[in-house]
Amino acid sequence: MQLTGKNINMRTVTLEDAEFIYLMRQNQNKTKYLSKVTGTVESQKEWIKNYKEKEKEQKEFYFVIESKSEEKLGLVRVYDFQDDSFCWGSWLIKEDAPKTTAIESALQIYEFGFYNLGFKKSHFDVRKGNNKVIAFHQRFGAKIIHENELDYFFNFEKSDYVKIKEKYKRYL
């Protein structure tokens, strides 16, 4: 499965990405607000094998974000499909990736979720304190609908996306 963006492509992960994922998830300052991944490159491979079964059943999609020259730039995951809403997260981009990678990958996720998969809404949670990411989602028009001690819970409607898409069309 591959999604084609303007300056990036996003393709579903394979076993060969185990080391990349492992190294990305080991990066201490980038993973402060993500759940801890323990283990080794080998256990990452096991995790991917397990994931690949879910991908076959179209229950989950885990993407490597790449440049057009196939340089790996980051990761992002679509999962927890409910009636009319999909969740996305595990979003992680390399420090030295081109500046538009974040916006482009978010747009590709919404294109995929709303048009390819046909959902009407998207939901995701962001750790309190992860202010840059909270601001990113708010600029897109996502709304905080709930919170607990640890997280803000966001909702983003397809109708909001249709509106914002016009503003971001240069990134599509």
Nearest distance from C-beta of residue 41 to ligand COA, angstroms: 20
Select 37 or 49, whichever has its Cβ closest to ligand COA: 37
Joined tokens for residue 54: 């879910």
Contacts (CB under 6 A) with ligand COA, residues 67-96:
89, 91-93
Joined tokens for residue 155: 């909702």
Q: Is 64 in the site for ligand COA (CB under 6 A)?
A: no
> How remote is the C-alpha of 168 from its chain's centroid?
18
Contacts (CB under 6 A) with ligand COA, residues 14-33:
30, 33
Among 126, 142, 154, 161, binds ligand COA (CB under 6 A): 126
Total site size for ligand COA, rule CB under 6 A = 17
Compute how many other C-beta atoms are within 10 angstroms of the C-beta atom of residue 20. Answer: 17
Q: Is 10 in the site for ligand COA (CB under 6 A)?
A: no
Residue 124: C-alpha distances to residues 70, 127, 143, 166 (Å): 28, 10, 10, 23
CB distance 61 to 76 below 8 Å: no
> How remote is the C-alpha of 63 from its chain's centroid?
8
Q: Is 142 in the site for ligand COA (CB under 6 A)?
A: no
Give the residues lining the site for ligand COA (CB under 6 A).
30, 33-34, 89, 91-93, 99, 102-103, 126, 130, 132-133, 136, 139-140
